[in-house]
Structure 1
Amino acid sequence: MSIQQNVLGPLSAQGVSDPYGALKNFEVIKKLGYGHFSVVYSARNRFNNVYVALKKVELSQMADAKAIEDCKREISLLQQLNHPNVIKYISHFVEENDLYIVLELASAGDLAQMIKHFIKTNKRMTEKTIWKFFRQICSGLEHMHSKRIMHRDIKPANIFVSAEGIVRLGDLGLGRFFGSKTNSAHSMVGTPYYMSPERIHEHDLGYDFRSDIWSLGCILYEMAALRSPFYGENLNLVLLRKKILSLDYAPLPANIFSHELRHLVARCLVLDPEQRPDISEVNHIAQVMYARFVEQANTANNTPTPTPTSRDDSACGSITPVNNR
C-alpha cells in the first residue's frame, strides 16, 4: 500500500473540488516553526485569499508505521473538534510523499514567543492578562476533554495567539482519544518540563485526563514567573524527574499575584492525580477570576486598582524574580 493510501485511507479530505486540496492552490509565505518530521508555514489560499497554517509532514522520512499512524490520529482528532479556543482543522492532502495539513492560522505566534518577549523587555504579564489567556486555554481543553481527547503535550509552544488576542490550543500530534472502556494511557510522550509525575515516573503508572491538568498548572505558573516551575540549568531526565516528584519549585510572590492564582497552581501541581481538580472546575475558576479583574478595571475607569496586578491588558509590570530554593 502506498504512503498516500496509508495516510488518506478513511480520512480523505473533501474531494478534488476542495480549494484547499492541492499545494498549487497556496502561496507559501514564510516558515513559522518545525518539528521532528514537520515544518509549518503561513500561506495564502489563491482561491479565497484566506491565510492559513500549512503543516508539511515528511512521510518519506518516517521509517515505521507507527509514525504514519500518529499522522492519521492527529487528523482524526482535529476533525472531531470545533471550538474557538482550539486550532481549527480545514483540510489535508498528500503530494510527493509529503502530507499537508491545512489549519487555522494564529497570526500573532505562540505563548512561548510571547513569554520570551516579556523576558527580553524585562516586563511581566499583568494578572488580568494571565487570566484572559488562561481562561481561553481552559475553555479549549474542556472541549477536548468533553470529546474524550487528551492533549498530552500542553506547553507554551502549542498555545497559539491570534492578532485579535484569541488563544487556541494546537498541535495534537501526541493527542489521545479515550474510548468508553479506556481508563488510562501508558506511553511516555510529551515535553518533560510539563509532564505530570505519573507520566515521567520511572515505573509505568498509567495516566489519564488529570495529567493535562498538571500541565495547565505549569502553564499558569509560567505565565506568572516567565519560566517553567521545574526549570533548571543542565537538568537531565533523572534530575528533572527528582525535581518534579519532590515538587521542587519556587512559590510565586504573594505581594504580586492573588491568592486564587497561587492556590490554583498548587492544586494543579499535586502528585496524586486524584487530588487535582478536573478541567470543568479549573475553567470555572479561570472564568470567574478574569471577570473579577475586568470588573475591577471597569469600576476604576481603566486606572490601576489597589490590587497590584489589576491593570489593563496593555500594561506590564517589571519582573520580580522568583527565587530558587
Structure 2
Amino acid sequence: MNFSQLRYGDFQINRMLGRGSQGSTYLVTLKSTQQQFAMKRENYLEEEDKESVNREIEQMKRLKSRFTVKLIHTFLDREDMCIIMQLCKQGDLRKMIANLQKIPERERIMRVWAILAQIIRALDHLHSHNVIHRDIKPENIFVMEDGSVRLGDFGFAKELTERTYTSIAGTRVYIAPEVWLLRRTNFSSDIFSVGIITQELLTGCHPFDTGYEQGIVDNIIKGHMREQPSFVSRELKELIFSMLDQDFSKRPTTKQIMDQETIQMYLRMQEEKEQEIEIEQRRTNEVEQENIRLREQLNQMQISDTPQIRQQGIQQPETSFSIERSRRQMASVFQTLSPILFSPILPGLNDVTFQDNLYTNVSDNHSTVLFNPVIRSGIVRMEILNVADLLAVGIADESVQYDQNEYPESGGKHKRIYFRYDGSLTHISSYLQGNDEFGHSGCRVTMELNMDTNPRSLTFFINDVEQKNYLTNIPAAVRFYAFLLYKGEQFKVLKFDHLSSPAATHRESHAYSWGNSWE
C-alpha cells in the first residue's frame, strides 16, 4: 500500500498509548483498511523541536532492521509532526515485567535469558552503527505479537562522533553513574541500563530502588544495589553484575555479551524461529497468489458454463468437473497458516540439547519438555517428527511445570493428556486404545488444538491421517509437551502454526472429555 498520500484525517484515533516530553503516542486505525498502527505526535513548531524530531526520524530510517520498531510514514498536521509506526501489539516491556512475576521462577529465568539476548542483539545493531540510544528503559522496548522484542523511541539517540557524548539525557532512574558524575555517555552507559532492566525482569523491582526517584539516583551513583535473589543462577548473576559495574570500562560490550554461551543458545533459537517465520510468510504470499489465480479460473469457468452455450448444442463434459476441482483446490488453499514463535521449557539445561528444532536427551534423566506459548485461542497445530524413540506427546494445563527427572503425570494426572507411541491415550486413571502408533523413526505426530470451537478440542494426526479418538472440553489455557525417557531419544519440531480453519473433520471419530473417566 502507498502511504505517501496519507494524512491525519485518514486515521481514527482509538486511545493514548503513552506520553513523552515532546508529545504523545496513540493507537490509531487506518480507516480505509482497518489496519492498526501507532501514531506519535510530536511538537514541531520551534526550531529546536524540529531539529530533534528530524534527527529522530533520520535515526529510525538509518537503523531500520528487524530489531527496531518500523517507521511507516510521517506527515505534518498543523504544528505537530505525526510519525506512523508499526504497532507492537503486546505493548512495552513494562507489562512483560509484571507478567513474568506471575510465572514459576525457573521458567522466568529462561524467559529473561531469551529477552535479554534479543535486547542485546538490537542494541548491538545500534552500536555497530556508532549510535548510542541514551534512553534504554522498559517503556522503549516493545513486544511483538509473536513475543519477540524491538527497540524503539530514538528521540535521544546520538551518533558517537567521539569516544563519549558530554550531555545528560534519558530517564533518570536508568542513567549510568558516569553520566551523573563525569557527564560522559558512551556505549557502556546503554549496557548499564540493560542491566537494570534485566534485574527488573527477574524480580519486578529496580536494583537500586529506595521508593523515590532521587534516592534511586543516589544509589546508582554510590553503587548501592540490592542483592540478587537466590533462585537466580550464578551465570546470570555474574552477567548482571558485570553490566552494572560502577567502572564503565569494566562493563562488557554487546559483542562480548552475545558471545556468552547461554546468550548464544537463545540467539540461535530466536534466529531459527525468525527464519521459519520468513519461510512461512513466503508460503503465505504464494498461497494468496494462488487464491487469486483460482478465483479468476473459477469465475471464468462459471461464465463459460452458461445455459446459452448449452442451448447451442456445444458439449462441455469437463466444465462442471473442472469447477468442482477448482473449488476443492481453493478450499485447501484457504486453510492458510501463520507460524508461531515458540520456545521450550527445559526441566534441566544439561539434560536436553536442541539445535535447528532437533531435541536430544543427552543425560540419564527423563525429560518432559513443555513449549511456550500458552495456547488460549485460535486453531493451533504442532507437528513433531519422531527421530529416535520418542515416547509420548500431549498437552498440559498451563499451571503445570516439570522439574528434572519428572514424568508428564508428575504435574497431576488430571492436568495432562498423554499420547503414547503405541497409539494409547491416558488421562486421570483412564487408558484408551484405538489410535495409530507413531513409535517408528520417521513417523510424524500432529496435535491440533481448536480453542475457538465449543467445546474446545484436541485432535491427533499420524502422518497426516486423522485419528479415531480425540478430546473435548480442553482447559482454557494449555501447553504442548513432548516426553523423552532415555538417553539418545530425539524428536524434531516441524511445525508450530496458527490455522485459519481446522484440518480435523471428526467423521467416524469418538470424542472423550477432559476431566472425566473414560468407560
For this structure pair, what is the TM-score category when the shorter chain's length is used for normalisation?
Answer: 0.7 to 0.9
Partner of 1:10: none
Counterpart Cα distance in 2 of 1:48 and 1:189: 39
Partner of 1:265: 240
User: In structure 2, do the counterparts of structure 1 residues 235 and 39 end up closer, same or farther at CA, with 3 Å as the change threshold?
Assistant: closer
1:234-271 superposed Cα distances (whole Å, 9 cap, x missing partner): 342xx4343113321122123x1111110000111111
CA contact (8 A) 1:86 1:140 kept: yes
Partner of 2:492: none
Shift of 1:48: 4.5
Figure out how many residues of one structure are paired with residues of the other and give that number. Answer: 283
Which residues in structure 2 correspond to 1:164-243 (within 5 Å)?
Answer: 164-179=146-161, 182-201=162-181, 203-204=182-183, 206-236=184-214, 239-243=215-219
Shift of 1:19: 4.4
Counterpart Cα distance in 1 of 2:64 and 2:169: 25
Partner of 1:7: none
Partner of 1:73: 55
Match of 2:369 among 302, 314, 317: 302
CA contact (8 A) 1:20 1:91 kept: no
1:301 match: secondary structure: strand
2:74 match: secondary structure: strand
Partner of 1:323: none
1:127 and 2:109 are equivalent in the alignment: yes
TM value normalised by structure 2? 0.51
1:244 and 2:220 are equivalent in the alignment: yes
CA contact (8 A) 1:197 1:245 kept: yes
Q: Which has the larger radius of gyration?
A: 2
Partner of 1:51: 36
Partner of 1:6: none
1:30-64 superposed Cα distances (whole Å, 9 cap, x missing partner): 2111112311111222344432111011334xxx5
Moved more, 45-54 or 26-35: 45-54
1:94 match: secondary structure: strand
Partner of 1:319: none
CA contact (8 A) 2:13 2:26 kept: yes
CA contact (8 A) 2:167 2:185 kept: no
Match of 2:259 among 256, 262, 284: 284
CA contact (8 A) 1:174 1:189 kept: yes
Name the Cα RMSD after superposition: 2.7
Counterpart Cα distance in 2 of 1:118 and 1:138: 19
Q: Which has the higher helix share?
A: 1
Letter in 2 for 1:184: T
CA contact (8 A) 1:19 1:47 kept: no
Shift of 1:20: 6.2
Counterpart Cα distance in 2 of 1:70 and 1:117: 34
Shift of 1:301: 3.1
Shift of 1:86: 1.0
Match of 2:144 among 154, 158, 162: 162
TM value normalised by structure 1? 0.79
Counterpart Cα distance in 1 of 2:255 and 2:403: 29
Shift of 1:133: 1.2
Counterpart Cα distance in 1 of 2:173 and 2:143: 21
Shift of 1:173: 0.8
Letter in 2 for 1:22: R
Match of 1:137 among 100, 103, 119: 119
Which protein, 1 or 2, shows the higher relative CO under an 8 Å CA cutoff with sep ≥ 6? 1
Counterpart Cα distance in 2 of 1:18 and 1:274: 45
Shift of 1:29: 2.1
Identity %: 27
Moved more, 279-288 or 161-170: 279-288
Counterpart Cα distance in 2 of 1:235 and 1:30: 28
Which residues in structure 2 correspond to 1:91-102 (within 5 Å)?
Answer: 91-102=73-84
- Unaligned runs of 5+ residues in structure 2 are 270-342, 353-358, 362-366, 371-401, 406-477, 480-519
Letter in 2 for 1:247: G
Shift of 1:280: 1.1
- Unaligned runs of 5+ residues in structure 1 are 1-16, 308-313, 316-325
Letter in 1 for 2:16: K
1:147 and 2:147 are equivalent in the alignment: no
1:126 match: secondary structure: helix
